[in-house]
Amino acid sequence: MEFNLGDILIQTLKSFWQFKGLYLMAGGVLLLALTFRILTDLLDRKSKIKWFLGKKNIQDLQYLTPTKFENYIEELFRSLGYKTKTVGGRGDGGIDVEAEKDGIVHYIQCKKFITRQVPVGAVRDFYGAIADKIDGGKGYFITTNVFTLDAEKFAEGKPIELVDRFRLMEYVKLANVEMPVADTVCPKCGGQLVERKGKYGRFMGCSTYPKCDYTSNL
């Protein structure tokens, strides 16, 4: 059998370029997979950071006193271009803040809930308080938690916008209002306030208890 050195060389070069193409293709696929994994990890990390910051922000609002939460909502709507005033307190008729824009008055109720959902009864009472007042405006029921399904169904077709904690964070981002500092200092002794759970639900209590028995509702 005769061997032609030229033919062998040509075949060797052909095989080399053929396998080189496969190697390059495999390397390209590996590079694309690696790039996709890096981008996925970055997006996932960004999503986790966004979730953490959003959770922290809503917790800051949940730890405010009811009055300070109402004041913050008033400032929030003022930043959105409304003329506002706080009317909350005893005898407020279920209305905490009035917000006027373009000559139209809107009515706001604030519920600072942490674990409880806003029930349909609360939304029904709010609607009863504003039904005779609304003249082209609407009511905003704002909470730091969420609404029950019955509450959402009741608000359908009525001039009421239910603003749960997720929608509230969208308002905060839109208005670009600085988040308030949560009430974590005990006004009675200067100690640290911590979240506790008692017979009637969660509350803020002084960390120096029983030396200091200060508590505040959440």
* Confidence at residue 64, expressed as pLDDT on a 0 to 100 scale: 80
Domain boundaries, the chain: 8-62, 66-175, 184-218
Provide the 3-class DSSP secondary structure of residue 201.
strand
Percent of the chain whose predicted confidence (pLDDT) is above 70 = 67
CATH topology of domain 66-175: Trna Endonuclease; Chain: A, domain 1 (3.40.1350)
* Confidence at residue 163, expressed as pLDDT on a 0 to 100 scale: 97
Quick one: average pLDDT of 136-159? 96
Any idea which of 151-160, 180-189, 205-214 has the lowest mean pLDDT? Answer: 180-189
* Residue 157 pLDDT exceeds 70: yes
Residue tagged 């960390």 (tokens): 207
Q: What are phi and psi of 37, to 5 degrees?
A: -65, -40
Tokens encoding 120: 């349909």
Query: Kind of pairing, strands 104-111 and 97-101?
Result: antiparallel
Whether the pTM exceeds 0.85: the reply is no
* Residue 112 pLDDT exceeds 70: yes
Q: List all residues 6 or more positions away from 214 whose beta carbon is below 8 Å from its beta carbon.
A: 186, 187, 188, 189, 193, 205, 206
* DSSP string computed for 149-196: HHHHHHHTTSSEEEE-HHHHHHHHHHHTPPPPPP--B-TTTS-BEEEE
Q: How many CB atoms lie within 10 A of CB 33?
A: 10
Whole-angstrom Cα Rg for the chain:
30
Residue tagged 């009421």 (tokens): 160
Instruction: Provide the mean pLDDT of the chain.
Output: 78
Half-sphere exposure of 170 (CA within 13 A, CB side): 6
